[in-house]
Structures are given as C-alpha cells and as structure tokens.
Chains A and B, each alone.
Chain A
C-alpha cells in the first residue's frame, strides 16, 4: 500500500492502459512544443505589441546574448537532470514544465527583437530535451526490469 502511494506521489503509474496514457504525456508535450514553435516562427502572430506603459514599467529587454547564456545554462542543467532521471524510474515527468520554460525563452527572444536568431536554438534544444523526456517516459512505461 505504502509502495503504491509512493509511486503515485512520484507520478509513476503501473504498466497497462493507465501506464500507456501516462507515457503518452511525452508525446503530448512534444506536439505542444512543435505547435508553439510554429506560432513563434510567425513572430507570435495575433499577439498585439505591448502598450508603451508596459514598456515603461518593464524597462528595456535583456540583450540577446544574455538570453543565449541563460538558455545554454538552462539546457545544460535540464539535459543533465533528464539523463540522471533515466536511472530513476519513479522520477516525475517534467515535459510540461519544460514546455513553459521554452515558451518563456521564445517570449524573451521576441521581446528583445532577436527571435529570428534564437528561434532555431530553442527549437533544436527544446526538441532534444522533450524527446529525451519522452524516451524516459517510454522506458518507465515498459518498467525497470525490461531490457536486454
């Protein structure tokens, strides 16, 4: 009973239909990210420019090179964490959290006027990160004992 509660707390689920649904979350996160990227490629078409009062309140956007640095640090940390979680089957799925972070990076690049340059970096880095998370979900769904 305690073990089952522990698995639920960690976000893990037993194999079977519930497990399949749980594992598909990786695919959902990846699909949502690709849709977000397509929208970002259009320069977030449909989103109005922030009013001047917001500009005055928020100040100047950070220089693109700062966003580049922050993105590299984030991606490095996220990839390392995802790799280490491969060895921990019960670790929670982080794909949707990464979706939020990646969307924030797109937004920062757009506000800095450097989306053209930053887009491909976020797309490639984010895709790899979410594919890794999806792969981890795939392995967890199969269970720790399966393999060679």
Chain B
C-alpha cells in the first residue's frame, strides 16, 4: 500500500490536514461551549438579581402574600426548575413548592457550602461563585443561582426586626433548566462537525487531485513510456514535463532506441 507514489504523496498530506482540522474543531467547539456556558451563567445571575429586586418592596412591607405569589408565579415558568427564599438560618420561607416551606436547607449542600465553609460566611461572592450545576431527579441538567438578600438602612429602619449589623437577611435560590443550552450546544456541535467534514473533503480532495494531476499522472505516463521502450513496443507520446522528458530521453538513449519526435 505504501509503495506507490500516490499513497506516499497523498496519505501523509491527507493525514496531516485531517488531524489539524479535527484538532482545531475540537478546540473551537470546547471554547465556544465554555463561552456559551459562562454567558448562560451570567444570564442566570441577572435573572436571580432581577427577581430579588422585584421582591424588595414586598419585603419592606412584610407583605408575605405578595411574596409567595411572586415566587409561585415565577416558578410556573417552564424553564424554572425551582425558586425559593430562605432566611439566614436556612429556613425556607417562600417556595413555589408549598411542601418545602418551613423546612431547613442543608448548609452542607453544594449551593450553600461555598459560603458556609467560612466562619463567618462572606457577605458577597462573585457571579460565578453564586452558580452551581446539577442534575434534577428527572435527569435534567439544572443551573442554580443563589443571591444573598442584603440588609440596608431601609430594612433595619422599617418594621423589620433585623438588627442593622446583620449584613445578609436571607437568600434567594432559583434553578433554571439547561435543556435549551444543551440543545443549542448539540446543534452547534453538529453544524461544526458538518462544516469540518466539508472542509476536509474539499482540502484533502483538492490536494489529492492536484498531486494526481501534477505528479502521479506524469510519473505514471513516464513509467508506461519507459516500459514500452524497454519491451520494444511503440511507446506513447513522450512526457511533456521538462524533467520527466529528460529522463525519458536519457532512458531511450541508454536503451539505444530513438525516441519518437516530440511535437
């Protein structure tokens, strides 16, 4: 297989192009995937922040019915997997799942542990540290964000019983389904694969055709010409490529045969 000129010339080039394009596509896909995931994280933290702000007025007025309605309505969104608000002790005060209300969350759980491993816990963390990913009971990928509900002069000065030196009053926790993101990534991966295959076919096919046209075919023609001379048959027209024509001429002279006039 590796003894023919065509195999030697084309195989290495095809292998090189294939390997390089495939590697670049893998790296490109990994980078694009990471960008999309980070973008999704930032979007999720913005949604959580907006939701926390939208509950602030009701919290200041201790309007628990409005707060529960806000949480329940947001929880009805198809993309929202869960939404709940719990106080500093970890007691779930509002949730779109009523059976959760009144229960304590586990401070050792992944979403809580990042802050609660420190004593005292930090009052604020970066947007990426607020995010966690896990699989729901149904096996769906979920992106969850926890946002601290901070104390402020208007909170401590209003009807609330929170002391002014308590920096964090509670936490809002919202989980968003990642189904859309996963579908988008799968579509992007499929398109990238298709594009890579097209580029590969075009480049490998182009290089192979060019090598065949400019190298393999003229050399085969030279071989046929020299074999005809050696066997005493009427040779085909001599090669037209300058270097090969000189070889053909030298072989013809060595064999003592007069090559047919070139024309």
Contacts and interface: CB of A to CB of B under 8 A. Distances in A.
Given A139-B2, A148-B219, A125 B23 contact: yes
Contacts of B20: 75-76, 79, 125, 128
B4 A148 contact: yes
Interface of B: 2-6, 8, 11-13, 15-16, 18-20, 22-24, 26-27, 30-31, 33-34, 219, 223
A136 B8 CA distance: 10
B31 A79 contact: no
Given A124-B26, A148-B4, A132 B223 contact: no
Interface of A: 64-65, 68, 71-72, 75-76, 79, 82-83, 86, 114, 117-118, 120-121, 124-125, 127-129, 131-132, 135-136, 138-139, 142, 146-148
Contact of B4 (A83, A121, A147): A147
Given A118-B27, A128-B16, A139-B2, 6 more contacts: A65-B31, A72-B24, A125-B20, A128-B19, A128-B23, A142-B3
Task: Report which residue of A71, A117, A136 has the largest number of chain B beta carbons within 10 angstroms of its beta carbon.
Answer: A117
B5 A127 contact: no
Contact of B16 (A83, A118, A127, A139): A83
B26 A120 contact: yes
A45 B27 CA distance: 24
Contacts of A125: 19-20, 22-23
- In this complex, the member of B2, B11, B30, B31 whose beta carbon has the largest number of chain A beta carbons within 10 angstroms is B30
Contacts of B11: 135
B26 A132 contact: no
Contacts of A135: 2, 11-12, 15
Contact of A132 (B4, B16, B23): B16
A148 B218 CA distance: 13
Nearest to B11: A135
Q: Top 9 closest A-B pairs, CB basis?
A: A128-B19, A117-B30, A125-B23, A148-B5, A121-B26, A68-B27, A121-B27, A79-B16, A148-B4
A63 to B, nearest CB: 10
Contact of B18 (A118, A120, A128, A146): A128
A124 B2 CA distance: 22
Nearest to A136: B12
B19 A148 contact: no
Contacts of A65: 31
A29 B223 CA distance: 37
Contacts of A147: 3-5, 8
* Highest count of chain A CB atoms <10 Å: which of B13, B18, B19: B19
6 contacts: A64-B30, A75-B23, A76-B20, A79-B20, A124-B19, A128-B16
Nearest to B17: A79
A114 B3 CA distance: 42
Interface centre among B12, B15, B16, B219 (most CB of A within 10 A): B16
B15 to A, nearest CB: 6
Given A79-B16, A83-B16, A72 B5 contact: no
A25 B211 CA distance: 30
Contacts of A138: 2
Nearest to A71: B27
Contacts of A71: 23, 27
Contact of A148 (B13, B18, B223): B223
A129 to B, nearest CB: 7
Contacts of A146: 3
A68 B19 CA distance: 15
